[in-house]
Structure 1
Amino acid sequence: MVAKFCAKRMHDVIAEEWDREIGGAAEWQRRWEAVFANSFERTDNEILSDAVAPEMVGSTASVVVLSGCQIITSNCGDSRVVLCRRTQTIPLTVDQKPDRQDELLRIEGGGGKVINWNGARVFGVLAMSRAIGDRYLRPWIIPVPEITFTARTDEDECLVLASDGLWDVMTNEEVGEVARRILRRRRRSLSMEETSPAQVVAESLTEIAYGRNSKDNISIIVVDLKSKRKRQQRPPLIS
């Protein structure tokens, strides 16, 4: 419920907050940080005020804004965004887990506990330290995103945004290798297939995760960062 609400609503909230936030050209990073912080908090409040879901329901949220020269990521929870750049797979987010040192200190400093129950969990319940929703675990679970800025290059292949259902069973490097192999093969193809190369990558990664018996939600979005190559047109047949 919360995940669906975020998917439908969050991009509108971010656009509205961008229009509200004032900042000069030199302050663009600070402006984006404020926009994302306000947007995540506002979305979290709307879930409560609109009675979208019970207090025991929540969601991760990974958001990417692309410009001509920047990849701006905002992440809350243990979903992850990675960038495939030539032969590298670069994580653009850091999973917010209860046993991450800074998160553990924050939770325990606020009187919370992290208990190892099938992995580190806040009070033995939630396996992430930040989320939208999950208000029953406030103030230890917070809807505060972490934001990164990455300059784009001509060597960037794609972005992979995915929930932990993928990352629980595949490493960043494995995901990057699959993505690069499929994208390069599909780009070389001259066939006019309806399914985009990025969609093929997402479906292939989903199949691999299922095949490895992933036990969590598997949500994957792949963004092709290469400019679309003009397809060669076959000459018309004349009879």
Structure 2
Amino acid sequence: MVAVMSKLSCLSASCTECIGIQSSYSSGKGRNHDGHIRYGFSLVKGKALHPMEDYHVAKFVQIDEHELGLFAIYDGHLGNGVPSFLQKHLLDNILKEDEFWVDPGRAIAKAYEKTDEAILSNSSNLGRGGSTAVTAVLINGQRLWVANVGDSRAVLSQTGQALQMTTDHEPNTERGSIERKGGFVSNMPGDVARVNGQLAVSRAFGDKSLKSHLRSDPDIQDRHVDGSYDLLVLASDGLWKVMDNQEAVDIARRVKDPQKAAKQLTAEALKRDSKDDISCVVVRFRR
């Protein structure tokens, strides 16, 4: 496995374009080898007093004759240890699975499980918090595999029509699973449904104290990226709380430069008074 990963090389211009430095604001852009697929990202810290808890990945890499686009949003809570760990390891763990080239879906599911196990076993260093995740792997510009845990979301645009590629894992929609595991869903405190009155998502990485009542297995979808698809938007719920899927696609399609599109999406979310950390990756396919 080490031999395989040693052949992986990044196609982006600089490391800061691959994985942005987590600060109050960051943005960047890049493209694949022939320039037909471009991406941009924008991250803005919310109004909470804690440090930035949204992390991302956006880059193209080469493994032997294969070009892979790797994109992700990780929205942490109760600390940035878990999303930071995911940024460093989750996508690499997917590519390390022996089955990746023959059964990407199974490889993604296994890597999510193994990564969560690693987080839980290292909770003394990573802290008591957790994170959502949405990942997208684009294989040779043709096959897109999207997976998610939690409420960070991926939305495709097909001839301008927004298509949600992920499932929002909310406590009310997965109440049965939570209760079968001995947990409960409560709207107290506040008016948001929470697992055991604490966590507002029903699936997450980490969260060791709640893990017996939570799931961390991802929902997975794949698509053949033909000429009808023009862009992909990945974002944390700091965007989706104030904007629906079609609005995000409409805004992104109006701006050819994907970095400017991502920045416009985060700016619009701020304008709509989103108080959460906001992170966004826009991938534009050549039509």
TM-score normalised according to structure 1 size: 0.80
1:70 and 1:21 mapped to 2: Cα distance? 16
Cα displacement (A) at 1:87: 2.0
**Structure 1 segment 51-130 matched on structure 2, within 5 A:** 51-55=124-128, 57-67=129-139, 68-100=141-173, 103-117=174-188, 118-130=191-203
Cα displacement (A) at 1:22: 7.8
Q: Structure 1 residues 112 and 49, CA, compared in 2 at 3 Å: closer, same or farther?
A: closer
**Residue of structure 2 equivalent to 1:157:** 230
Aligned residues of 1:98 and 1:128 also touching (Cα < 8 A): yes
Question: Residue 255 of structure 2 aligns to a residue in which SS?
Answer: helix
**Residue of structure 2 equivalent to 1:176:** 249
Q: Over aligned residue pairs, what C-alpha RMSD do you find? A: 1.6
| Matching residue's letter, 1:85 | Q
Structure 1 segments unaligned to the other structure (5+ residues): 184-196, 228-239
2:148 and 2:246 mapped to 1: Cα distance? 20
**Residue of structure 2 equivalent to 1:46:** 118
Q: Structure 1 residues 52 and 36, CA, compared in 2 at 3 Å: closer, same or farther?
A: farther
Q: Which moved more, 1:86-95 or 1:108-117?
A: 108-117
Structure 2 segments unaligned to the other structure (5+ residues): 1-80
Question: Residue 147 of structure 2 aligns to a residue in which SS?
Answer: strand
**Structure 1 segment 12-27 matched on structure 2, within 5 A:** 12-17=92-97, 20-21=98-99
Q: How many residues align?
A: 203
Aligned residues of 1:5 and 1:52 also touching (Cα < 8 A): no
**Which entry has the higher C-alpha Rg, 1 or 2?**
1
Q: Deviations over 1:84-108 (max 9, x none)?
A: 11120100011011111xx111111
Tell me which protein shows more helix as a share of its residues.
1
Q: Does 1:5 align with 2:5?
A: no
Aligned residues of 1:76 and 1:144 also touching (Cα < 8 A): yes
Question: Residue 139 of structure 1 aligns to a residue in which SS?
Answer: helix
Cα displacement (A) at 1:7: 1.0
Cα displacement (A) at 1:69: 2.8
1:171 and 1:146 mapped to 2: Cα distance? 20
Question: Residue 129 of structure 1 aligns to a residue in which SS?
Answer: coil
2:175 and 2:205 mapped to 1: Cα distance? 19
2:179 and 2:107 mapped to 1: Cα distance? 28
Q: Deviations over 1:137-196 (max 9, x none)?
A: 12221211110112212021111000100000001111011011112xxxxxxxxxxxxx
Aligned residues of 2:82 and 2:127 also touching (Cα < 8 A): no
**Residue of structure 1 equivalent to 2:266:** 206
| Matching residue's letter, 1:132 | F
**Residue of structure 2 equivalent to 1:194:** none
Cα displacement (A) at 1:202: 0.8
1:201 and 1:22 mapped to 2: Cα distance? 31
| Matching residue's letter, 1:21 | E
Cα displacement (A) at 1:32: 2.0
Cα displacement (A) at 1:21: 2.5
Aligned residues of 2:100 and 2:107 also touching (Cα < 8 A): no
| Matching residue's letter, 1:222 | V
Q: Structure 1 residues 215 and 49, CA, compared in 2 at 3 Å: closer, same or farther?
A: same
- Runs of 4+ that moved beyond 6 A: none
Aligned residues of 1:165 and 1:216 also touching (Cα < 8 A): yes
| Matching residue's letter, 2:263 | E
Cα displacement (A) at 1:73: 0.6
Aligned residues of 1:135 and 1:141 also touching (Cα < 8 A): no
Question: Residue 111 of structure 2 aligns to a residue in which SS?
Answer: helix
